[in-house]
Amino acid sequence: MKIRLFKLLIVLIYSCEQPPIIDPINDLDLIPYPNQIISSNQALKISSINSIIGNEKINDLLKIINEEWGGLLQSLDTKKGDSPKSDSIFLQIDNDMDVSSIEGYILEITSNRIIIRGKTGEGVYRGWQTLTQIIELSQNGDNPNYIPTGKIIDEPEYGYRGTMLDVARHFFTPDEVKRHIDLISYYKINHLHIHLSDDQGWRIEIKSWPKLTEKGSLTEVGGEKGGFFSQDEYKEIVSYAATKFITIVPEIDIPGHTNSALASYEKLNCDGKLRDLYTGTNVGFSTLCNTEYTYQFIDDVIRELSSISPGPYFHIGGDESHVTKKKDYIEFINRTSAIVKKYNKKIIGWDDINIADIPTNTILQFWNYSQRPDNQDWDGQIGFKNILNGLKKDPKVLLSPAGLMYLDMKYDSLTNLGLNWAGYINVKKGYDWSVEELFSEIPSDKIIGIEAPLWTETAANSSDLEFLTLPRLPGYAEIGWTKSSFRDWSDYKDRLASHSLIWDIKDINYYSSPLIQWLEKNKKIIN
């Protein structure tokens, strides 16, 4: 009898599925790379997870993550509870965690459960995003039903990690903007700056000034039909971004880049005559007239847009206002800044605004730093003068150096999309630099983060946006998140190669840079 029982036990042991030997968690090609990974060299079978647990404190986030999990794998039961269970994902907000950032998190994967703890709901979500990458990268490996175990303790280097989308040169629908949000969110970008007005089009409904969209929105670069967001559509975009903990930063560019407004209301022009709609790509030729009528216009626009933008920032533009008299320009920036403060927003402006009496803690967005196509030497004198002059007024600085971070620059002379006035930016050039070394003149405590702008003179659809964004944006995301001492080009380019498999599966367009040894395409994620 004992022999029979022993034989039965042997059969049962070997009939159970044994976890495979898989690559450890620290070998996964995560982007941005976490700041601390501890591997435990085991495996978790993904299909064994059957529930997501969290308490009332995390109820809304629980729903969001469960919906995303359902899109990734299969729907799970949502349960309320205060402690982790086997075969579950446990979510917890822990205000006493040993991380300094509100986005800090600890992700722990064992052989039978997953625990994500964050200092805030935002931190929990960042941990979830890391788990998502772990699952998708593992599914492209040899054992797609398993993920490696271990512990990740992580938080970002900078609190502001952004990108900008220009919807004025070419208009993009709410669904196209949401698709872009999905793309940038995957790499833990947490701010989307939307350039809502320019010479070529006014893209946001202002109810007290209806002609801005009735006429000013009708065109775009090249003469095609433009468009605009109703306030309800804009609020929908803001809400969608918020589910991924992305803050929308609205920009109304003042006093230049305003032809669409000048074509809508004649009294915004000093000669009282409407301007023609503009579909070209020149800059610097337009300006608002310095009158009380104009300041009422500015006040109404900022008031209405601030009321539907719950984030803390309002961007006033201020760049390339070449035909505005200096005295008028300074008054525009001073009075517009006061209006922004009146509506309880923090002011962001391009570094040109440094000549005005900017309030303390104004955020100067440093952009005028380029590498000319015909010269390999850095030409950043204008931008640096702007920033160094502005530092006397105690601002904060947001880094967007054009020659390193403008997503609308061509990768090289052979790429069709993009411009090259700031030089070519290949994927290595976009990644292989550090804030500390290149911008040592700017005190580190003044730098809030980085932002990669995407102007759309040459981008007319989502495919174009994706081509210009990928594969450069993941590098900017890593610069913003991961400590520079942990970053290395030779390692990064190998990690980046794996992500093309994910982009292929999701039908996301990208530039197949010859600097990257891309992996085999069209592998399928196993659900």
Domain-embedded: residue 517: no
What are the DSSP calls for 180-241, one per residue? HHHHHHTTT--EEEEE-EETTEE-B--TTSTHHHHTTTSB-GGG-B---B-HHHHHHHHHHH
Q: In the prediction, which pLDDT does 388 show?
A: 81
Mean pLDDT of 397-416: 96
Instruction: Summarize pLDDT for 121-141 with one digit per residue, the tens.
Output: 999 999 999 999 999 999 888
pLDDT given at position 143: 87
Provide the token pair at 167: 């919807």
Q: Which helix (H) or strand (E) holds 51?
A: strand 51-54
390 pLDDT band, cuts 50/70/90, is: confident
- pLDDT higher than threshold 60 for residue 72: yes
Query: Can you give the pLDDT at residue 162?
Result: 98
Confidence category of residue 16, pLDDT binned at 50, 70, 90: low
Q: State yes or no: pLDDT of 467 exceeds 90.
A: yes
330 occurs within a structural domain: yes
Residues 98 and 168 in one domain: no
Q: What is the pLDDT of residue 151?
A: 97
pLDDT at 436 over 90: yes
Last residue of a domain, one of 154, 189, 218: 154
In tens, the pLDDT along 222-274 reads 999 999 999 999 999 999 999 999 999 999 999 999 999 999 999 999 999 99
Joined tokens for residue 206? 């202002």
Co-location of 336 and 456 in the same domain: yes
Q: What average pLDDT does the segment 447-468 reach?
A: 98
Q: Please tell me the distance from the alpha carbon of residue 203 to that of residue 191, in angstroms, as a whole number.
A: 19
Number of domains in the chain: 2
**Residue range 317-349, pLDDT digits in tens:** 999 999 999 999 999 999 999 999 999 999 999
Confidence of residue 516 (pLDDT cuts 50, 70, 90): very high
Burial of 73 (C-beta count, 10 Å sphere; 0-12/13-18/19+): middle
Final residue before a domain boundary, out of 111, 131, 154 = 154
Q: Is 233 left (phi over 0), alpha (psi -120 to 50) or beta?
A: alpha
pLDDT of residue 106: 97
- Tell me: pLDDT of 42 over 90: yes
**In 192-325, alpha helices (H):** 211-214, 231-242, 259-262, 292-307
The larger pLDDT score, comparing residue 209 to residue 361, is at 209
What average pLDDT does the structure give for the chain? 92
Report the SS3 class of residue 17: coil
Rounded average pLDDT over 442-447: 94
User: DSSP per residue over 424-466, as a string?
Assistant: ---HHHHHS--HHHHTTTS-GGGEEEEEEEE--SS--SHHHHH
In a domain, 497, yes or no: no
**Is 220 a residue whose pLDDT tops 80?**
yes
Within-domain flag for 234: yes
Residue 381 is predicted with a pLDDT of 59
Measured between its terminal Cα atoms, the distance across the chain in Å is 44
pLDDT computed for residue 142 by the predictor:
82
Quick one: 76 and 167 in the same domain? no
Same domain, 120 and 206: no
Whether 340 and 355 map to the same domain: the answer is yes
Residue 526 covered by a domain: no
Q: What is the CATH number of the domain that holds 32?
A: 3.30.379.10
Helix or strand run (H / E) with residue 37: strand 37-45
Judged against a pLDDT cut of 50, whether residue 427 lies above it is answered with yes
pLDDT at 41 over 60: yes
Model pLDDT, residue 46: 94
| Global pTM value | 0.94
Indicate whether 179 and 309 sit together in one domain.
yes
Q: What is residue 147's predicted lDDT score, i.e. its pLDDT?
A: 96
Domain final position from 126, 154, 182: 154
Task: Tell me, rounded to whole angstroms, the distance of Cα 316 from its chain centroid.
Answer: 19
Domain assignment present for residue 27? The answer is yes
Whole-angstrom distance, CA of residue 386 vs CA of residue 441? 12
CATH number where 227 lies: 3.20.20.80
Tokens of 376: 């390999």
Same domain? For 145 and 168 the reply is no
Claim to verify: residue 263 and residue 390 sit in the same structural domain: yes
- Would 514 be classed as within a structural domain? no
124/270 same-domain check: no
Residues 306, 206: one domain?
Answer: yes
Residue of higher predicted confidence among 59 and 213: 213
Q: Are residues 140 and 216 in the same domain?
A: no
Run of H or E residues at 337: helix 326-342
Query: In sequence order, what are the residues at sequence separation of 6 or more whose Cβ sits closer than 8 angstroms to the Cβ of residue 175?
Result: none
| Cα–Cα distance for residue pair 261/259, rounded to 1 Å | 5
User: Does residue 148 share a domain with residue 185?
Assistant: no
Structural domain including 278 reads: 160-488
Q: Does position 374 have pLDDT exceeding 50, yes or no? A: no
- DSSP H stretches of helix in 308-434: 326-342, 381-391, 402-405, 427-431
pLDDT of amino acid 6: 40
Average pLDDT over residues 82-96: 93
Residue positions annotated with a catalytic role: 320
DSSP state of 250: E
Give residue 369's pLDDT band: very low, low, confident or very high (50, 70, 90). Answer: confident
pLDDT at 524 over 50: no
| Residue 57: per-residue pLDDT | 83
- At residue 20 the predicted structure's pLDDT band, cuts being 50, 70 and 90, is confident
Report whether pLDDT(358) > 60.
yes
Q: What whole-number percentage of the chain has pLDDT above 70?
A: 93
Angle between helices 473-481 and 174-185 (to 10 degrees): 50
